[in-house]
Amino acid sequence: MKILHVIASVDPSGGGPIEGVVMSSETWRRHGHTRHIVCLDPPHSQWVQTCPVPTFAVGIAGKWHVLLKQLIPLLRYAYSPWLKKWLRAHVHEYDAVIINGLWNYSSFGSWRALGHTDVTYVVFTHGMLDPWFNKTYPIKTFFKTIYWKLFEHRVLRDARAVLFTSEEERRLAQHSFAPYMAREIVVGYGTRDDFGDPATEIAAFFEKAPRARGRRLMLFLSRIHPKKGVDLLIQAFSRLAGEFPEFDLVIAGPDQVGWQATLEKLARQLGVAERIHWPGMLLGDPKWGAFRAAEFFVLPSHQENFGIVVSEAMAIGRPVLVTNKVNIWREIEQDGAGLVVDDNAEAVETAMRTLCSLSAEAAAEMGARARRCFVERYDLDRNAMQLLELLTKLRGET
């Protein structure tokens, strides 16, 4: 099959959606299938040039556009007049189209091009219908409600299927906006079980975080964003740092909203700044080396659709600590792959203390359960092929 992905951006700092597209593309390529991307990035964007999947960029470029985005809401919505034209010209070259995400022109623009055709298109919501956003950002929710009633709901209504990566995500999506009409299907997701040489990867990580060498490490690896609960993590770490002087904390990821300086100040105030490492965004060998060098992984998010990084940690066989706002928490708890807590500093502290106190044998057992959880649920090679089978079935219903 030949599949087209539509997504707002191929910038890897955007997190899970584009990472999932790129990783599963390699699986499909090995089985003789083709995947392309059309995005709303400017054509000469750095990430468009380096994306490993053939990418067609139809976004608006120019310094004037950056300035006008601050003034014109439609441009902040990533509007591009060329998306509809491109899709109308090329969509029949593909067997199916996957729209990734909502609340930007990639979804509604695709609907404008495809909604009244016989093209098989599905929508991955990627957690963007979680009610948490409505409570946390009421002003944005006001405008989203208008967008939803006017046109966004049509994208889901007319899709051949709306795809969710967990049962929890599917359940929550029903309670965000009305009208809500969708053919809901929960599909497998995760990461590839295909890594490099452990020694090389670990060495690459310590090149990024040399002060961490020789320390026992707990790892956070994700976007540095308020919804990720990084402040809770630092507070929790400060409360147990004295009990476990051999442990340091690694906080790795892109600082998309300029929050890191505030967090570093918090760490200084709490007296743990010297035991926290900030290697920045990690990709490739340094990223996998961080997972291997850590004893356990922590993601204390207030909202998380799936958390590819959680499946990556489990693939390496590391116990995970997540909140019950990470939508795969039920599966982690059921499989004994780690600990699940509420999203507050006290609960995170208690769980971190438990993990720091584990014997080598107990930690290894939990890590083995995490690895089994990954293999059975989140191996992307298997899940990508199951998605391909679903698209074939949906296309046959035309």
We report the CATH number of the domain holding residue 282 as: 3.40.50.2000
Domain match, 269 and 180 both: no
- Domain of residue 232: give its range: 198-378
pLDDT for 215 equals 97
How many domains, in total, are found in the chain? Answer: 2
Domain match, 27 and 38 both: yes
Domain match, 249 and 329 both: yes
Domain match, 248 and 330 both: yes
pLDDT digits (tens, 9 = 90+) for 301-342: 999 988 899 999 999 999 999 999 999 999 999 999 999 999
What's this model's pTM, rounded to 2 decimal places? 0.86
Domain match, 25 and 128 both: yes
- Rounded to whole angstroms, the Cα distance separating 293 from 384 reads 28
Amino acid present at 163: L
What's the burial of 47, exposed, middle or buried (CB within 10 Å: 0-12/13-18/19+)?
A: middle
- Contact status, residue 136 vs residue 227, Cβ threshold 8 Å: yes
pLDDT digits (tens, 9 = 90+) for 146-186: 999 999 999 999 999 999 999 999 999 999 999 999 999 99
pLDDT for 78 equals 80
The tokens describing 62, both together, are 């120019």
Domain match, 68 and 144 both: yes
Domain match, 150 and 237 both: no
Collect the ranges in the chain with pLDDT lower than 50.
Answer: none
Contacts of 173 (CB under 8 A, 6+ apart): 125, 129, 130, 164, 180, 182, 184
pLDDT for 63 equals 66
Domain match, 285 and 386 both: no
Q: Each residue of 107-130: b (16+ CB within 10 Å) or e?
A: bbbbbbbbbeeebbbbbbbbbbbb
Domain match, 167 and 245 both: no
Domain match, 207 and 179 both: no
Domain match, 148 and 295 both: no
Domain match, 149 and 224 both: no
